[in-house]
Each structure stands twice: as structure tokens, then as C-alpha cells.
Structure 1
């Protein structure tokens, strides 16, 4: 994809001078909030009062609220780190305020240990597309690209790559290629190929939580393949913010030092930590169910587009590898976004959210997430929503 925007309404600044766009954002958020039928809801789409009330009401199930608030990473933050390490089957974990910082630190630590500051990754990976060149500008790392195919590199591509690298970073799933995953056999083979080249392997597992069904392995079995793993708390677990870096105890101890140097030693982080603990307790066990139903929704979307006579469409991948996937249509992005928000406003049904222009010209893409509210949708519900949506595209 050529569009470098992180594809979410939640990145638009409330202080943006573009009041027209800010007004449209508020319109979309209002329409989604009022929808009686929607495929997923994000906590960040709630008001401040709603979010604070829900956290105060629910957090006691995940942590003793009579404990003292955290100070510089103790208390509830340390408990979250222990639970993440245990969930992934790794020695230790460290909480970071952002995934960008967590991965900067991980890759910098590995560069020092391997003596090679070159990182092999995919051109659609998050550091290449969504971080403003931070790996080079902030951490002095250099990136190389073993493949340009819209999938993770293969073992043969890693073996044939013509220059050395210290770390191979694999984004699981590769979000901007359509939340795609390799098979378990392909993943183990590419890890083995990297090790043959004396490189370490780091998993960008921002959405690792939902990879187990497709790979057919447990989270500890997946995490064990890598030398280090980063996971996000808000992308799949619906927490407020934050991430964790997990791996060997010695690496995590070094990462804590670099976390402080990067400005990540925050005085108190209990809201983020509590919401992450809630996500581990409530959302993580349900992700396999979401992944399974995403396949139902994706198939019904394709059926609906065919029935509506849409001249061209693509649901990608089909079937989805996780509970998120892409939909492509041959219309201007602004036309599709307007049809989607009007459908939500007029019928109380949110099928799609924002659409984005992409290449070649004339195509637009959106991302679909199936979570708890989406489990209520039958195939017939999806097809009916598609029929209503496509009718809004007719002249």
C-alpha cells in the first residue's frame, strides 16, 4: 500500500486546525456510537466519563484496587509484566508506554549484542510505514528488505539475501498487507533460516494475541520461536494504551535501562496497566471466537457484493487469517466513507468505517474488525447490510 496514514479515526488530533475534518470525525464517532448493530467497538470511541466509569467499575476483577498506586513501574505495572511473561511463556517482560519505543529498544539492544545494526524487515512493516523513519533517526539502525511481496519473507528469500543483518523482524500478522500470516511450517522455516545466518529474530507481535488459531499453536509455542517479542495492549485487547517487550531476563533488564533513557520511565501508569489486565482477562480468551466469526463475515461480504452486482471487489485475505481483514472496492474513498456513515446514521447499522484511497487509482480499501458485537451478526445480517450499503453507491 502506498498510503502511510495509520488507518484509524482515533489518530486525528482534536486540536487540528482543519475543522472540516474534525467535524467529520465527530460525525463518524457519533454515528458509530449510536449504531445498534456494529462489528466491533473500540474503547477509545467512548467519552472520557464513560471510559473512567467503566474502568473504575471493572478493574477490581483484574487487580486488587486496595493496593497502592504504582510509582515508576512497581505495583500494578509489575503485576502486568509478570502476567504477560507467564502468558507468553517467556522469562520476563517490561511495560512500555508505546510499541514504537518498545521495538526501538529491542532492536537497539540486539544491535549491540550482535554487533550488527542492520535490521531485515518487510517494507510494509510498522517501523517502515508508520514511524517516520524512527529506527534510523533515533536509534541509528539501518533497515534492509528481503522481499517486496505482500507477505512475510520466505526461508529461501532469507537465505538468498545478499548482505548480512543482525536481526530479522517479523510482523505477525503483517497488518498493511491485509493482516496476513504465514503457516506454522513457513514461520518455523524462516526463523531457522535467520538463525543459519547468525541473526536473532524479533517478533513485532502488536496483534500476536490473535495469531494462535491460524498458526495452530499456543501463544507460548509461538513466542518461543523468537529471541524477543513485542505485544500491544490496545490493538486487540482494547486497553487504553501501552505495550510490553518480552524475552530473556538479561535482555529485558537491559531494555529497562534503555526505556529510561528513551523517556519511558513514567511516574504512574495505573490506568493503562489496569485496562491491559482487563484485556488479558476478558478479550484474550475470546479472540479465537472472533477469528472464527471473521471468516463467516468475510464470506458473507463476498456473497453480498456478488449478489449486488458490484463490478469488482476483493475481500483479503479470504478467508481471513485473524479477526481483521481488508475489503477493496472500485469507488472513490470519500464516496464509500460517506455511504458508510449515512448507513450508520439512517439505519443504526455500521458495516464499514473509513475508506482510504490506494493504488492503482480508482480503488479504495478499508479494514474490517470482528469483535464481540460482531458475533451477533448472521450471514443474512451481513448480506442485508451489504445490499443496503451498495444501494447507496448507485447514482
Structure 2
């Protein structure tokens, strides 16, 4: 067994896991449907009360005229950008070099829609107003991801978003929000979803990340936009005969967890502070701006996996199941705080992080 597989297996065996809402198993669905009327009718090919009511509910929450439920965010965002490119008759969009569309979708936007990406900023920092002003190419749409996951969930200040939004509207550039984790950033900005989404022409949100549903996404905007998105959804094969298991779990956990986002955020700051006290360990950002952050360590990936596997077995607490290499002598992992955190005894968690500190010191001696 490789060390990476050993780490993943050790993580599975822990009694307490630091990230998320707990184990993703069939219980997620069972809990969400427990109190439903068994005679509740399902949706049929994107129509029906259960899907239409949920779409209207989320549209109102976001302050948008209309919303459409999709089985995946990958499908939803490619479609959003295709619609804006068609509207502007220009097949170029701008976004961050570490956007999900650029690094996780097998070039779907380019291969399926023949849309060219214009990359702003670099891989180490956020898109700033200066990057938008200095674009050398005309684009139909600019995509902003809030928070920027691949660099620790960092966020621009709100004034920057307002400036970018104003510039795009003046220049006729459509502005799309990759808001997969929009619920998680509301406590930091101290803004409502409506206040944020008003700055964007279209919005995508996820229901399996911070909310913790099974799967599913919403694409929201004006009615002309969402009506076009329904056509593209059918073309992409996204109109399954029924999506209600995704809708039901999305709605259930939306109600259960939306008001807990501030609690997750406060826990994230506390835990990041503990990691930052460890030898040769730092978080990105140093103080989290949402419920997620990255933990960077000055140690090789293989050595860290060995250390973590040992810590998990001794403490029964798992930090992560997966470590990413940064260089030969550095690596990092992601933490995303949810319901699971409240089940961990604080002293046990502190002991596990202290054990990491001691292991890192020993490694460097």
C-alpha cells in the first residue's frame, strides 16, 4: 500500500474528522427525506412543484429574478459562459489561472464550446482591479471565484468587487460569480447574499460543499438568461427524468446549515491559530476569511503522510485524507470546517495538533 493510500485509510478509521459535516454516506439522503410525505410528487425533466418551488426560493435568497437547478456546477458554469459569449458574439472569457474551469474540467469549456480563456493575475494571488484594467484582449465575460479555493480560500476586499462590477457594466462585460462557497463568505463580508449577487449578472452556487447536500447546483440571473440555460441544460443531458434526491437534500441542509456559517467561520479562525503555532507550519490565509483554509508545511509530502498516519492512529483524529505536494520539501492540505468540528473534544484536538508540532520539530532536527 502506498503512503498516500495508507493515509486515506487511516483517515477513514478515525473517530473524529476535522473537515466537513461528517462521513459522506447514505445517511445524508436518509436524514433529508425522513420527514417527507411519501406521496410527494417528483420533478419530471426539470418541471414540477418540487423543483420549481426550490428554484424560486433560492432565486429570492440570491436576489435574482430566476434560478435553475443543475445536477453539477461544472455543467452550470460552462453553460453560463456559453450564453454570455453567444450574447456578445465573442468567444473569450477571463478568469483566474486556478479557476475550476481551467484546472479541473478537462478543458470542457474549450472542447465543448470552443471558448478561449484569458487568464488574469497569477497562481499565487487574487484578481485585482489592476488586472482587469490591464486586460489586453476583449472578453465577453469575466468570472470571479469567491472565495478563491486553490489559494486557501482568499477573498478580495468588498470595495474591489464593487469596482470590478462597475467597470464591467460600463464596458459591457458580463460578470459571472463562481459562488460555489458563497454561503461561507457572508460572515466575513458581513453582507447578505443579495448584496453580493447584485454585483453580478449571473451566479452559480453549490449545494454539496458548505451546505453538504448530495450534489446539485443553482444558476441564477434574469429570466432571459435562465430560460436559455434550460435549453443548454437539455443539450448537456442535465434534464434527468428526476432530480428530486438532489433537490430534497439541498433544501434540507440549506435550512439546517445556513445559519451555522458564522459558527464555522469562528471555529476556522481558532483552529488556524493552533496550526500556526506549530513548527514549520503556517496557514493560508494566516487568518481565514471563511470556513476554509490551507495548511502549509515545510516537509516532503511522503514524510508528512507518514507523520499524519501515525497521529491519526494515536489520537483518533483525522486532519485530512489527502496531501498535495508543493515542492520536494513542502506540501499542504485543505481544511473546511462544518458540523464535524463540534463532535471533537477540544483537548483531544489540541493534543493532536501539538503532536504534529512535535513531529515537525523532530523531523527538522
Aligned to 1:105: 79
Does the 8 Å contact 1:127/1:134 carry over to 2? Answer: yes
Aligned to 1:69: 42
- The answer to whether residue 131 in structure 2 is matched with residue 150 in structure 1 is no
The one of 336, 345, 354 aligned to 1:387: 354
Does the 8 Å contact 1:290/1:375 carry over to 2? Answer: no
Aligned to 2:169: 195
- The answer to whether residue 12 in structure 2 is matched with residue 30 in structure 1 is yes
The one of 282, 305, 310 aligned to 1:337: 305
The one of 312, 315, 318 aligned to 1:350: 318
Aligned to 2:282: 314
TM-score (norm 1): 0.85
Alignment RMSD: 2.2
Deviation at residue 146 of structure 1 after TM alignment: 2.4
The one of 30, 40, 43 aligned to 2:19: 40
Deviation at residue 376 of structure 1 after TM alignment: 5.7
Deviation at residue 80 of structure 1 after TM alignment: 2.2
Aligned to 2:233: 259
Deviation string for 1:155-187 (max 9, x for gaps)? 222112122111000011110011011111111
Deviation at residue 388 of structure 1 after TM alignment: 1.5
Aligned to 2:200: 226
Does the 8 Å contact 2:11/2:321 carry over to 1? Answer: no
SS in 1 for 2:208: coil
Number of residue pairs matched by the alignment: 361
Deviation string for 1:204-243 (max 9, x for gaps)? 1111111111222101111111000001111111111111
The one of 373, 379, 384 aligned to 2:340: 373
- The answer to whether residue 27 in structure 2 is matched with residue 59 in structure 1 is no
SS in 2 for 1:289: helix
1:266-345 matches, within 5 Å, as 266-303=240-277, 305=278, 310=279, 312-345=280-313
SS in 1 for 2:113: coil
Does the 8 Å contact 1:31/1:341 carry over to 2? Answer: no
TM-score (norm 2): 0.92
Structure 2 Cα separation of the partners of residues 141 and 319 of structure 1: 36
SS in 1 for 2:312: helix
Deviation at residue 392 of structure 1 after TM alignment: 4.2
Deviation at residue 342 of structure 1 after TM alignment: 2.8
Structure 2 Cα separation of the partners of residues 122 and 218 of structure 1: 24
> In structure 2, do the counterparts of structure 1 residues 43 and 277 end up closer, same or farther at CA, with 3 Å as the change threshold?
farther
Does the 8 Å contact 1:300/1:382 carry over to 2? Answer: no
Deviation at residue 72 of structure 1 after TM alignment: 1.3
Deviation at residue 351 of structure 1 after TM alignment: 3.1
SS in 1 for 2:296: strand
> In structure 2, do the counterparts of structure 1 residues 314 and 392 end up closer, same or farther at CA, with 3 Å as the change threshold?
closer
Structure 2 Cα separation of the partners of residues 57 and 329 of structure 1: 37
Aligned to 2:103: 129
Higher normalized contact order (CA 8 Å, seq sep 6+, divided by chain length): 2
Deviation at residue 275 of structure 1 after TM alignment: 0.9
Aligned to 2:215: 241
Does the 8 Å contact 1:351/1:385 carry over to 2? Answer: no
> In structure 2, do the counterparts of structure 1 residues 39 and 362 end up closer, same or farther at CA, with 3 Å as the change threshold?
same
Structure 1 Cα separation of the partners of residues 129 and 2 of structure 2: 48
SS in 1 for 2:295: strand
Deviation at residue 68 of structure 1 after TM alignment: 1.3
> In structure 2, do the counterparts of structure 1 residues 385 and 26 end up closer, same or farther at CA, with 3 Å as the change threshold?
closer
> In structure 2, do the counterparts of structure 1 residues 25 and 253 end up closer, same or farther at CA, with 3 Å as the change threshold?
farther
When structure 1 is superposed on structure 2, of 254-263 and 384-393 the one drifting more is 384-393
The one of 174, 181, 200 aligned to 2:148: 174
Deviation at residue 344 of structure 1 after TM alignment: 2.2
When structure 1 is superposed on structure 2, of 210-219 and 147-156 the one drifting more is 147-156
